[in-house]
């Protein structure tokens, strides 16, 4: 058991989950000068993890940080210094919103899982765009250089029939600062959001975001859609067909699940955690199957970012074997600590090198 595991199991599990997140994120940002030096040294020594090319971008490692940890783009470079191959911020909405009432984040330690019903709490697209513009002008020499994903979603108070315009607003403000853009229609914590995954609603939305992104950028910014693991197989395949028809650059598979099947945690703990999206190892099998379905339908070209239940190097390799090109994690980071991303990326790089040798 590592020092972090002892700290987590004996101290952090007794701390309110959202408060623990805030404290940990503050510590990560404050440690940025130190972690920058360590990461730079690892790269010079060739120990940073194997590079991956996807969507016309170069990722220094296959595993990136999923959206949800840094909702407002306040710690991108500090997080990248921990060994992530990319950082995806958000979900960002066109209008600022406080999210759902607290408590809205809970842990299920026996399952190494998290339940969240955050509700897209964020500063809004105008504020985040301003922050990203200032980061672009940062001349400290400490920028990470990893690809930046920006995940956008629907403002809660906006009716479904006005969702397209809402997403267009966010795309217009944030695309100029994104290396890739993700349309989130799969969080279970915004009423009506998952209805947008239906192909007849999703197609006009994706086409509108694509047009708006092209309008505000002189270069092609890759566009992906993030889908739920709770879609039926036929609906997953329908999204894949739509991605090909619209010309999306890829799919992020998957978001959190509303299912509570197969948990090891006692019923009282699950009930106390409340509603919302569950992430972590209980999601692994379904996320893996959705990845496989998508790859079989999409063919070799569109990028699949595999996320959901990835904790170990073996998990990562299995998701890549299922058809993912890139990976993301969030819950594994929470439970495994600040060295987790570097361990996964190095482990995957070593495994791939052994196969190639």
Mean pLDDT of 310-319: 98
Active-site position among 144, 186, 187, 279: 187
Q: What is the pLDDT of residues 96-113, one digit of tens each?
A: 999 999 999 999 999 999
Rounded to an integer, the average pLDDT of 332-345 is: 97
pLDDT at 190 over 50: yes
Q: Tell me, what's the pLDDT at 47?
A: 67
Q: Is 15 among the annotated ligand-binding positions?
A: no
Q: Decide if pLDDT at 64 tops 60.
A: yes
pLDDT of residue 40: 78
What's the pLDDT score for residue 44? Answer: 64
Domain span at residue 137? 3-356
For residues 278-296, give the mean pLDDT.
98
Does 255 carry a binding-site annotation? yes
Task: Tell me if 245 is assigned to a ligand binding site.
Answer: no
**Is 218 one of the annotated active-site residues of the chain?**
no
25 is in an annotated binding site: no
pLDDT at 297 over 50: yes
Please state the domain count of the chain: 1
User: What per-residue confidence (pLDDT) applies to 13?
Assistant: 80
Q: Is 75 annotated as a binding residue?
A: no
219 is in an annotated binding site: no
- Residue 177 pLDDT level (bands cut at 50, 70, 90): very high
Q: Is 184 known as a binding-site position?
A: yes
SS3 assignment for the chain: CCHHHHHHHHCHHHCCHHHHHHHHHHHHHHCHHHHHHHHHHHHHCCCCCCCEEECCEEECCCEEECCCCCCCCCCHHHHHCCCCCCEEEEEEECCCECCCCCCCEEEEHHHCEEEECCCCCECCHHHHHHHHHHHHCCCCCCCCCCCEEEEEECCCCCCHHHHHHHHHHHHHHHHHHCCEEEEECCCCCCCCHHHHHCHHHHHHHHHHHHHHHHHHCCCCCCEEEEECCCCCHHHHHHHHHHHHHHCCCEEEECCCECCCCCCCCCHHHHHHHCCCEEECHHHHHHHHHHHHHHHHHHCCCCEEEEECCCCCHHHHHHHHHCCCCEEEECHHHHHHCCCHHHHHHHHHHHHHHHHHC
Does the pLDDT of residue 1 top 80, yes or no?
A: no
The predicted structure's pLDDT at residue 18: 97
Task: Look at residue 255 and tell me whether its pLDDT is greater than 80.
Answer: yes
The whole-number pLDDT of residue 284 equals 98
Q: Evaluate if residue 351 carries a pLDDT over 60.
A: yes
| pLDDT tens-place string over residues 121-165 | 999 999 999 999 999 776 444 455 899 999 999 999 999 999 999
Verdict on whether the full-model pTM lies above 0.85: yes
Annotated ligand binding at 117? The verdict is: yes
Counting residues of the chain whose pLDDT is more than 70, the rounded percentage is 96
pLDDT at 2: 79
Confidence of residue 14 (pLDDT cuts 50, 70, 90): confident
Which residues are CB-neighbours of 291 under 8 A, at least 6 positions away?
A: 253, 304, 306, 319, 322, 323, 324
The pLDDT score that the predictor gives to residue 136 is 79
Per-residue confidence (pLDDT) for residue 139, from 0 to 100: 40
Contact of 53 with 139, CB cutoff 8 Å: no
91 labelled as ligand-binding? yes
CATH number, domain of 166, equals: 3.20.20.70
| Residue 71 in marked binding region | yes
């Amino acid at each position: 058991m590592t020092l972090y595991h002892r700290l987590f199991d004996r101290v952090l599990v007794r701390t309110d989950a959202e408060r623990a997140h805030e404290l940990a994120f503050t510590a990560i940002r404050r440690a940025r000068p130190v972690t920058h030096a360590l990461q730079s040294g690892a790269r010079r020594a060739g120990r940073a993890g194997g590079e991956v090319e996807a969507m016309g971008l170069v990722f220094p490692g296959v595993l990136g940080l999923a959206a949800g940890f840094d909702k407002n783009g306040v710690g991108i470079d500090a997080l990248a210094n921990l060994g992530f191959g990319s950082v995806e911020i958000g979900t960002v909405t066109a209008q600022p919103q406080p999210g759902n009432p607290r408590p809205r984040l809970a842990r299920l330690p026996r399952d190494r899982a998290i339940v969240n019903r955050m509700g897209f709490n964020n500063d809004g697209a105008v504020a985040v765009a301003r922050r990203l513009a200032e980061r672009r002008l940062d001349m400290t020499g400490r920028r990470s250089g990893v690809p930046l994903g920006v995940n956008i979603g629907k403002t809660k108070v906006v009716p479904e029939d006005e969702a397209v315009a809402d997403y267009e607003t966010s795309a217009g403000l944030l695309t100029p600062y994104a290396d890739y853009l993700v349309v989130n229609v799969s969080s279970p914590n915004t009423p009506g959001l998952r209805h947008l995954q239906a192909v007849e609603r999703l197609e006009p939305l994706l086409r509108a975001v694509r047009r708006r992104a092209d309008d505000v950028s002189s270069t092609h910014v890759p566009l992906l859609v993030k889908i739920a693991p709770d879609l039926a197989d036929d609906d997953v395949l329908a999204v894949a067909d739509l991605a090909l028809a619209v010309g999306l650059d890829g799919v992020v598979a998957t978001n959190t699940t509303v299912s509570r099947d197969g948990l090891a945690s006692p019923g009282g703990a699950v009930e106390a955690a409340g509603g919302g999206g569950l992430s972590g190892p209980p999601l692994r099998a379904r996320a893996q199957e959705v990845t496989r379905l998508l790859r079989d339908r999409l063919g070799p070209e569109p990028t699949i970012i595999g996320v959901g239940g990835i904790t170990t190097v073996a998990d990562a390799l299995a998701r890549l074997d299922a058809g993912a090109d890139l990976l993301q994690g969030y819950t594994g980071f929470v439970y495994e600590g600040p060295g987790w991303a570097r361990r996964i990326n190095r482990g995957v790089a070593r495994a791939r090198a052994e196969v190639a040798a």
